[in-house]
Structure 1
Amino acid sequence: MAVPDPKISEARRVIRQLDEGAINRIAAGEVVERPASAVKELVENAVDAGAYRITVDYADGGKRLIRVTDDGCGMTAQDLPLALCRHATSKIDGSDLLDITTFGFRGEALPSLGAVGRLTITSRAGAEGAEISVNGGRANAVRPAAITAGTRVELRDLFHATPARLKFLRTDRAEAQAIAETVKRLALAEPFISFTLNDLSGEAPRTIFRADAQTGDLFNALHGRTAQVLGRDFADNAVPLNAEREGYHLIGHAALPTYSRGSSVQQFLFVNGRPVADKLLIGALRGAYMDFLSRDRHPAAVLFIDCDPHMVDVNVHPAKSQVRFREAGTVRGLIVSGLRHALAEAGHRASSTVAGATLGAFRPEPAPGPSAPGRVYQMDRRGSSRPMGHGFDGFNEFQAPSVRADAGASAPSESDSTQDAAQQAAPLGAARAQVHENYIIAQTATGIVVVDQHAAHERLVYEKLKRQMDEAGVAAQALLIPEIVELDETEATLLLSHAEALSRLGLAIEPFGGGAIAVRETPAILGEVDAAALVRDILDELSDLGESGALRSRLDAILSRVACHGSIRSGRQMRPEEMNSLLREMEATPHSGQCNHGRPTYVELKLSDIERLFGRT
């Protein structure tokens, strides 16, 4: 039996004008999703007011109390009633909705908050302060109040006017964490402003987060603020970015691939200072690290894109978390090329946290029995040791003069000593031993380096193969019978607009009438390939991001496998000159600090850290 549609009625529905309270509660549903949304709106208002110090207090995850205090320009007694009216704002005059240089511009936050909670605004712009309160959308009269210069906005009992919304909130702890993340994100956007976040839930207030205002130029201020918000580890393992293209300017810091995360929690993206969660920017960030991280790892980065306000539309999402660029392809290309250039300039550098984890894994062991003096030992895979001179005497040249005298060998020449000193002065030092037939031990001027010979050589071979492919192009193989892929006309037009770029990667396509396309050539390195599936994968990325890396990623995956099979295998004994050659090549090759999957290729331990392990400090 068919169930009648409850939306269909024989009686004609009457069109009526909603009252102001209902309108504000509907608007609040878009603007105020949870306590963190209220904090975001109020802090943004404080920033727009020119504040230098902003304090955020909350209780019970923001459900019972949210209070934001600033030292900005403030409001007069005449401004307060107008501030609670919808679409009343001092940010814009309405003449040009693209010329937006402030966080707020719609004039919806305060009336929306007043419609769903108990809101009190106390402010002072001149000699006297004033206060106004609103409860469930009903405003009281303005009255005098004592306050220093600035504004204090207090929101109590959020959603008390719409109690059904309370059922959709999470626990106090989860909401408090969301508030902290919101304040930290805004603190990153404004490094010259001091932020303080306090939890008033308990008997005594607790300071959850504090970031003092930074000084100096913008770049140094951003670096200092990232250290305050994300921690010293991020700041120590991040590379700076500063790139520009066609009116778009990119600055910020991006972490090394070996400092990757298990989720995207340390990805912060800003457009003209506004925090955003735009899929175009997130996709570009992911694409820039595609060649360095496995699929289950995520990069960490703080990126700022600045441009003329007319080149980006920020009025496309109720929460203003998404934007639309006039030249989306240019922005994506700027992020990808800027990040890859910065990571390439880092060279062989790996994150310092790798060394910290290595030192933390050490445990005190009983002292082993004395070994024969003057002998250098190699450890095999079974854990037994043997002198290097038995069938493998490549390390004799590294032994000290006294050791050589004991062994009956001639003293090293002056040129050998000079060469060894030069190698020790190099970033990755001079090879001293090979253990378990896989790890190279090198001595530097300040410590030791442990290198995974297979992972390091795999990266070197991979980078060499990529350079060769870029220089010589991708060899294509012609299909005996072209494969016809049926698409709709819109998809075919989009795909054919990128035909030239795909041709450079070995994929030749051409129109075949209607919405169909013919695939005539595919990259030879891929071998037998499902051309239709490949084309549809590329088309999905083009539709979603405006650019596709599907074909390039497949080619890189093949090169990665070739590099893996063509690199030095684990278990192979290497001679000293081979080890030193590998170390020097690593120093000269970008991205050699991590393997093709983002794992570190070497660990550096400082001599001071090693001495601390033995209690010598």
Structure 2
Amino acid sequence: GLAALPTYSRGAAVAQFLFVNGRPVRDKLLLGALRAAYSDVLARDRHPAAVLFLDCPTERVDVNVHPAKAEVRFREPGVARGLVVSGLRHALAEAGHRASSTVAGAALGAFRPEGTPRVWQMERPAPGLRAAAYSVQSPQGFADGSPGFVPSARVEPESVEAADDRPLGAARAQIHENYIVAQTATGMVIVDQHAAHERLVYERLKAQMAEAGVAAQALLIPEVVEMSAAEAARLLDHAEALARLGLEVEPFGPGAVVVRTTPAPLGPVDAGALVRDILDEIADAGDSALLGARLDAVLSRMACHGSVRSGRRMSGDEMNALLRRMEATPLSGQCNHGRPTYVELRLADIERLFGRR
């Protein structure tokens, strides 16, 4: 079948088509398997797009359980569900850092002029902006800007190691202390540094969890976090699972817990804010969710606290290191909520915007 990248998610389950032995079905088991396969890369209010074809011997599936034959019953439902989930997750992992091409299309659409003609002559800038523009255009050269002008972007010197031939290119600038602009062999890439690093931290936490649990770092001074008695009880019910994630919490009287360790991969972190976010995630997931799903949700919240924040200035080496890690990490084309981590603009499309093609 065909499965769309997570960045091509929809607001409703309108782009999901399932076939069993060539017959179209709307089977709850298969729809649940499809959602489970994308649970790690989509927000709860987003739905994947896919067309899946399942073929199996007729004696292993009963097609007469629904009057309209819209549902089926498998003799081994666990096997059928497992095949769908594992197959889709392997396919998504093989996509690597790719994001949907519709992301770039939407970005280019935002650049294009509106349908209503604009009267440019009447859009006169403020006197201060005109003075700054005249100063920049003065004979002493374009590099001598106005004394009071503070740029919102920083240009990096060209790296010694050429990386333009890499899929995500070489970092050339950082804009608004949040977006990395990189040059590729065929165009340019704009990366959301927080969203991209959040995904990288999340994948690293999951890898550590799968091996031997997340490493913990002890707090020099344990931090007491106050909350309601019910919230403290709910959090302590998951204390053993949280300890495997590197977060050790203990009761500290009525309506409070004490945090003794935090996950080491996160570095310095606000333990109180981390605990409250995890508590919200536990309450949101509910007791019906499987333990593995709850742990992944908690890891996702932790990754947000351990990622590069918006507003942080990054050096050229740091930006290039982030790009290289994105290229080597599966699913890095979207953040933990399914939003794109980067937008790629082809040189041909950029030239078309300026009427050069």
Return the TM-score normalized by structure 2: 0.72
2:84 paired residue number: 335
Counterpart CA distance in 1 for 2:206 and 2:144 is 39
The amino acid across from 1:447 in the alignment is G
1:321 to 70, 77, 86: 70
Letter in 1 for 2:201: V
Paired position in structure 2 for 1:573: 313
Q: Distance in 2 between matches of 1:560 and 1:554?
A: 10
The runs of 5 or more residues in structure 2 that have no matched partner are 216-236, 251-278
For 2:97, the equivalent position in structure 1 comes to: 348
- 1:324 shift after superposition: 0.6
Task: Determine whether 1:597 maps to 2:337.
Answer: yes
Matched position secondary structure for 1:385? coil
In the alignment, structure 1 segments of 5+ residues that lack a partner are 1-251, 378-382, 389-393, 399-415, 476-507, 509-518, 539-548
Q: Per the alignment, do residues 385 and 344 of structure 1 end up closer, same or farther by CA in structure 2, a change over 3 Å counting?
A: same
Q: CA deviation at 1:435?
A: 0.4
Shift of 1:299: 0.2
Following the alignment from structure 1 to structure 2, what is the Cα–Cα distance between the partners of residues 447 and 320?
50
Distance in 2 (alpha carbons) for counterparts of 1:453 and 1:324: 46
Shift of 1:342: 0.2
Corresponding residue number in structure 2 for 1:81? none
Q: What aligned pairs does 1:122-141 form with structure 2 within 5 A after superposition?
A: none
Checking the alignment, whether the CA contact within 8 Å between 1:474 and 1:523 is kept in structure 2 is no
Counterpart AA for 1:597: H
Q: Is this contact kept in 2: 1:451–1:602, CA < 8 A?
A: yes
Query: SS of the residue aligned with 1:288?
Result: helix
- Structure 1 residue 553, shift from structure 2 partner: 1.9
Partner residue in 2 for 1:263: 12
- What is the correspondence of 1:282-301 to structure 2 with a 5 Å cutoff? 282-301=31-50
Aligned residue among 381, 385, 389 for 2:151: 385
Quote the offset at 1:315 in angstroms.
1.2
| Distance in structure 2 (CA, Å) of the matches to 1:376 and 1:595 | 40
Q: Deviations over 1:459-505 (max 9, x none)?
A: 00000000110111489xxxxxxxxxxxxxxxxxxxxxxxxxxxxxx
Distance apart, 1:386 and its partner CA: 6.8
Q: Which amino acid aligns with 1:353?
A: T
1:374: Cα distance to partner?
8.1
Of 410, 429, 439 in structure 1, the residue corresponding to residue 169 of structure 2 is: 429
- The separation in 2 between residues aligned to 1:534 and 1:434, in whole angstroms, is 36
Partner Cα separation in structure 1 for residue 309 and residue 286 of structure 2: 37
Return the alpha-carbon distance in structure 2 between the equivalents of residues 464 and 535 of structure 1. 22
Give deviations 1:148-170, integer Å, cap 9, x for gaps.
xxxxxxxxxxxxxxxxxxxxxxx
Aligned mates of 2:59, 2:38 — CA distance in 1: 30
Deviation per CA, 1:497-533: give whole Å up to 9, x if none. Answer: xxxxxxxxxxx9xxxxxxxxxx99554348588xxx9
Cα gap change, 1:373 to 1:443, in 2 (>3 Å): farther
Q: How do 1:398-413 residues align onto structure 2 when only pairs under 5 Å count?
A: none
In structure 1, C-alpha distance between the alignment counterparts of 2:188 and 2:109, rounded to whole Å = 16
Contact 1:376 1:395 in 2 (8 A): no
* Whole-angstrom CA distance in 1 between matches of 2:157 and 2:213: 45
**Distance change >3 Å, CA 327–CA 577, structure 1 → 2:** same
Note the C-alpha offset of 1:312: 0.6
Give the C-alpha shift of residue 558 in structure 1: 1.4
Q: Distance in 2 between matches of 1:311 and 1:571?
A: 56
Structure 1 partner of 2:254: none
Which of residues 377, 386, 396 is equivalent to 2:157? 396
Name the residue aligned to 1:311: 60
Shift of 1:578: 0.6
Question: Would the aligned equivalents of 2:104 and 2:345 in 1 still touch at CA under 8 Å?
Answer: yes
- 1:73-105, CA deviations, whole angstroms, 9 ceiling, x for partnerless residues? xxxxxxxxxxxxxxxxxxxxxxxxxxxxxxxxx
Q: 1:24-55: per-residue Cα shift (whole Å, max 9, x none)? A: xxxxxxxxxxxxxxxxxxxxxxxxxxxxxxxx
Kept in 2: contact 1:454–1:568 (CA 8 A): yes
User: Does the residue aligned with 1:443 lie in a helix, a strand or coil?
Assistant: strand
Q: Count the aligned residue pairs.
A: 282
Distance 1:468 1:373, change over 3 A: farther
| Aligned partner of residue 317 in structure 2, secondary structure | helix
Given candidates 236, 259, 272, the residue that maps to 2:21 is 272
Alignment of 1:493-532 (within 5 A): 522-524=241-243, 525=245
Look up the SS of the partner of 1:580 in the other structure: helix
Partner of 2:308, secondary structure, is: coil
Distance 2:286 2:202 in 1: 27
Distance in structure 1 (CA, Å) of the matches to 2:141 and 2:81: 61
Taking the aligned partners of 1:520 and 1:430, their CA distance within structure 2 comes to 43
What amino acid maps onto 2:287 in structure 1?
D
Which letter does structure 2 place at the counterpart of 1:294?
A
TM, length-normalised to structure 1 = 0.42
Q: Select the structure of larger CA radius of gyration.
A: 1
Asked whether the 8 Å contact 1:376–1:387 carries over to 2, the reply is: no
1:375 Cα deviation from its structure 2 partner:
5.8
Q: Secondary structure at the match of 1:564?
A: helix
**Alignment identity in percent?**
69
Alignment of 1:111-190 (within 5 A): none
* 2:287 is the counterpart of 1:537: yes
Residue 442 (str. 1) matches residue 182 (str. 2): yes
